[in-house]
């Protein structure tokens, strides 16, 4: 499987477990996280040995939303976004969170959110297309 920088991926007995691995940042969402999550679902869909996907976080958060300030304080200034940060899909502009949500929705495998802590903004939105959501401080 591919090496990811924003989460750890382990496949055991047909279950792919992707764990966000930035507990110091409360597993915040970045453009790199977006690209890697889309790649993760492309990878798991193509692998017939994977029967289900679990998404969880390390530390005290599942995903604390968008990482603010990564664009030099212009996180919500859409005129300063890099080319490719948004795409038009079916005539509708999609940001990174929207692209991830649509990719999870199209997953060929069941997707489970093992919500181990704080989930804010896109950390909640990304769970909407998932098939199951389990919330517990012990979720893995």
pLDDT in tens, 65-93: 988 876 555 555 555 555 555 555 566 56
Q: What is the CATH number of the domain that holds 108?
A: 3.90.226.10
Query: Does residue 1 lie in a domain region?
Result: no
Angle, alpha carbons 6-9-10 (nearest 5°): 160
Query: Does residue 108 lie in a domain region?
Result: yes
Residues 111 and 9: their CA atoms lie apart, in Å, by 14
| Number of structural domains found in the chain | 1
pTM, two decimal places? 0.85
132: pLDDT strictly greater than 60: yes
Residue 92 belongs to domain spanning = 7-135
Query: Does residue 103 lie in a domain region?
Result: yes
Query: Does residue 14 lie in a domain region?
Result: yes
Stated as kind and residue range, the H or E segment containing 97 is: helix 96-105
Query: Does residue 2 lie in a domain region?
Result: no
């Amino acid at each position: 499987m591919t090496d990811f920088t924003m989460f750890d991926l382990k496949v055991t007995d047909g279950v792919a477990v992707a764990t966000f691995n930035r507990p110091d940042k409360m597993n915040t969402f970045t453009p790199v996280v977006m690209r890697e999550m889309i790649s993760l679902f492309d990878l798991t869909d193509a692998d017939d040995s994977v029967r289900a996907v679990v998404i969880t976080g390390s530390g005290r958060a599942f995903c604390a939303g968008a990482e603010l300030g990564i664009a030099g304080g212009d996180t919500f200034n859409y005129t300063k976004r890099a080319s490719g940060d948004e795409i038009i899909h079916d005539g509708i502009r999609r940001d990174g969170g929207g692209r991830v949500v649509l990719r999870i929705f199209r997953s060929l495998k069941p997707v489970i959110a093992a919500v181990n802590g704080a989930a804010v903004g896109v950390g909640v939105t990304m769970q909407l297309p998932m098939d199951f959501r389990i919330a517990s401080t012990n979720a893995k």
